[in-house]
Amino acid sequence: MNRLWLYLSSTTTKTSLSLTYLLMILLIAGCSSTAQPTTTPPNSSTSNAQHEEHSMSMDHIGTTASAPEGSTTERPAKITTLPSIIQNNQINLVAQTSYLEIEKGKYLPVWTFNNSVPGPQLEVTEGDTVTIHLKNQLKVPIALHVHGVVLPNEMDGVPGMTQDAIQPGASFTYTFKANQAGTYWYHSHQDSLNQIGKGLYGSFIVKKKQDTVSSDHTLVIDEWSDPHTTVPESESNTLAINSNMGAYNLYTVNGRSGDLIEPIVVHQGDRVRLRLVHAGNMTQTLYIHSDAYRVTATDGHDINRPQTLSNGLLVIAPGERYDIEFTADTTGIQWIGMVGDSSFAQSVRIPIVIEPKGSKRTLTEITKKITSYQAQMTSIPSDHQQPLDLTTYGQPTTSEFGLKSVFDREYTLDLDMGVIDGKMSYTINQEAYPQVSQLKVQTGDAVKITLINESKNEDHPMHLHGHSFEVLSKNGQALSGSPIWKDTINVRPGDTYVIAFRADNPGMWMVHCHELHHASMGMMTDVIYEDYQTKYHPDPEAGNISE
């Protein structure tokens, strides 16, 4: 919870926050660390010991926030390297400390995989069996979750639920098959609000066996808190930000901000794919400055016959991924910019330089060209255009589910906030984890879930582990475009989504908000297969913190 500290130390708060929201922050800061009561006895598929350990893993909810470590302008002895690309299905990762030059001359203490933030990009081919050997050289326990990839339950990386957290000096090996090509990411799932916040994440790309794209680039966006940086400014553009619970004041792309953001350089005639990954906690809107592009995939699933777009807006929420494709027809500079009135949002401008075919200009020459174009990248057209609505995008085709399908299990999850056991919490059906009722299924069930956001000014990007789900409707309207399959869906204030999935991956799986402040304060539950018996028994001394 250390990212809340800036709220308590700063005299400046966002004008868009409601009074209720501010009172919630103050209540959280004053809460004691008293454990929440455990739930009623679990069903027969889960041992009492495991259930109690998983419940105990949430006892940190509502504890007093500590101050985040600040940046320094003195060059440290150890600095992160640029993220590497590992094109191998046998992967070695080491979690270790370092310093990230997040802005020119400003070094932030971070936790890394292989001394980079993001960690190395892991690239495999669909159908590969992947083995990840993770060694922990930090002083705290960690775990690894490959977000969006359908994994065996024992490889899901949730401490207290599928494994014990990896202790300092220890190692753990994850093995799974990557069946679905697409854009994914990996991150720690032990105390994830803090550990992802310190840099423990990276991209995970499953490539198609045959691909027509000739230039492929990944862009991981994130937000950071630094008490040595100016406090957050007000954002009047509500498309960009609807809350700033972490008081973030540094926005990055691939671990860099401002002039340090590395440009994307392609050549005329290239077919280009940009993979967007959101590793932060704030819903962001991106302006895509391109005359002709298509959003071709979301969360690792292709969109059927997507229409060509021009100079549009794309909302991306925590945990989501989008693939954008275009053909580099004409030379010049295109760009992607974060929408928002603050200097933090305006510091995120990603130049896309289209060079003549065969050009061999140096990076210095390319940088000079970008500098001359910089003024044109500072503003975003204010014609009140609406961001892309996936529920109307692409073309219809056959799909597994529909609103008239017969479902074996149906659940409704009301997402809100309230006081639970004397603590301000984010709730599901007026309950906070671990008191939230579990979603019980049997193998083979067709499951429908209705997600309703009752919050006044906060998004809830809900993530389902172990499965992909189909989006059936938004606010009562069935999809009119392509079928949409996702693992993370952003439910904005007042919105209602109906989603469905096939219970075809037995185990015990989390469902939680990927605005990780919300999850760590109670907005999560479990999907439990009644016909699954786990072999895992948590160690009560492991210090498991599952969220």
Instruction: Please report, as a single letter, which amino acid is at residue 171.
Output: S
331 or 7: whose pLDDT is higher? 331
Closest C-alpha to 501, from 399, 394, 397: 399
Question: Looking at the predicted structure, is the pLDDT value of residue 55 above 50?
Answer: no
Residue 7 lies in a domain: no
- At 308, is the pLDDT very low, low, confident or very high (cuts 50, 70, 90)? very high
Letter string b/e over residues 18-57, b meaning 16 or more CB atoms within 10 A of that residue's CB = eeebeebbeebbebeeeebebbeebeebbbeebbbbbbbb
Strands of 104-170, DSSP E: 106-113, 121-125, 129-136, 145-147
Among 369, 388, 407, give the residue marking a domain's end: 388
User: In this structure, how many other beta carbons lie within 10 angstroms of the beta carbon of residue 5?
Assistant: 19
Judge residue 461's burial from the number of C-beta atoms within 10 Å of its C-beta, 0-12 exposed, 13-18 middle, 19 or more buried: buried
Predicted local confidence at residue 2, as pLDDT: 37
Predicted local confidence at residue 315, as pLDDT: 96
Q: Full-prediction pTM beyond 0.85?
A: yes
Predicted local confidence at residue 240, as pLDDT: 38
Same domain flag for 231 and 199: no
Residue 539 lies in a domain: no
Is 267 annotated in some ligand binding site?
A: no
What is the rounded distance in angstroms from the CA atom of residue 131 to the CA atom of residue 312? 39
Give the range among 46-50, 84-88, 126-130, 458-462 with minimum mean pLDDT.
Answer: 46-50
What is the rounded distance in angstroms from the CA atom of residue 80 to the CA atom of residue 85? 15
Unique residue bearing structure tokens 């609406």: 386
Among 357, 388, 419, give the residue marking a domain's end: 388
Among 179, 207, 235, give the residue marking a domain's end: 207
Same domain flag for 377 and 465: no
Mean pLDDT for the stretch of residues 175-198 = 97
The whole domain housing 423 covers 397-529
Predicted local confidence at residue 42, as pLDDT: 34
Residue 442 lies in a domain: yes
Same domain flag for 325 and 404: no
Residue 117 lies in a domain: yes
Same domain flag for 224 and 369: yes
Mean pLDDT for the stretch of residues 215-244 = 73
Same domain flag for 441 and 379: no
Residues 6+ apart with CB under 8 A from 415: 426, 427, 428, 451, 452, 453, 454, 455, 460, 462, 491, 513, 523
Question: Looking at the predicted structure, is the pLDDT value of residue 47 above 80?
Answer: no
The phi, psi pair for 344, rounded to 5°, reads -70, -45
Q: Residues 217, 253: contact at Cβ < 8 Å?
A: no
Same domain flag for 378 and 406: no
320: CATH: 2.60.40.420
Same domain flag for 231 and 364: yes
Same domain flag for 295 and 373: yes
Q: How would DSSP label each residue in 403-472?
A: TTS--SEEEEEEEEEEEETTEEEEEETTB-TTSSPPEEE-TT-EEEEEEEE--SS--EEEEETT--EEEE
Residue 10 lies in a domain: no
SS3 of the chain: helix, strand, coil, percent, to 5: 10, 35, 50
427 or 44: whose pLDDT is higher? 427
Instruction: Please report, as a single letter, which amino acid is at residue 463.
Output: H
Question: Looking at the predicted structure, is the pLDDT value of residue 59 above 90?
Answer: no
What is the rounded distance in angstroms from the CA atom of residue 147 to the CA atom of residue 257? 25
Residue 58 lies in a domain: no
509 or 32: whose pLDDT is higher? 509
Same domain flag for 316 and 364: yes
Give the range among 19-23, 180-184, 426-430 with minimum mean pLDDT.
Answer: 19-23
User: What is the average pLDDT score of the chain?
Assistant: 87
Residue 27 lies in a domain: no
Predicted local confidence at residue 26, as pLDDT: 44
What is the rounded distance in angstroms from the CA atom of residue 305 to the CA atom of residue 294? 9
What is the rounded distance in angstroms from the CA atom of residue 445 to the CA atom of residue 293? 38
Same domain flag for 402 and 453: yes
- At 27, is the pLDDT very low, low, confident or very high (cuts 50, 70, 90)? very low
Residue 52 lies in a domain: no
* DSSP conformation class of 160: T
Same domain flag for 278 and 309: yes
Closest C-alpha to 153, from 528, 423, 415: 528
Question: Omega of the bond prior to 434 within 30 degrees of 0, cis?
Answer: yes
What is the rounded distance in angstroms from the CA atom of residue 351 to the CA atom of residue 367? 10
What is the rounded distance in angstroms from the CA atom of residue 141 to the CA atom of residue 538? 14
- At 343, is the pLDDT very low, low, confident or very high (cuts 50, 70, 90)? confident
Is 278 annotated in some ligand binding site?
A: no
The domain total for the chain is: 3
pLDDT digits (tens, 9 = 90+) for 378-436: 878 766 689 999 999 999 999 999 999 999 999 999 999 999 999 999 999 999 999 99
Q: Residues 86, 133: contact at Cβ < 8 Å?
A: no
Q: Residues 104, 64: contact at Cβ < 8 Å?
A: no
Question: Omega of the bond prior to 118 within 30 degrees of 0, cis?
Answer: yes
Same domain flag for 333 and 359: yes
What is the rounded distance in angstroms from the CA atom of residue 292 to the CA atom of residue 309? 6
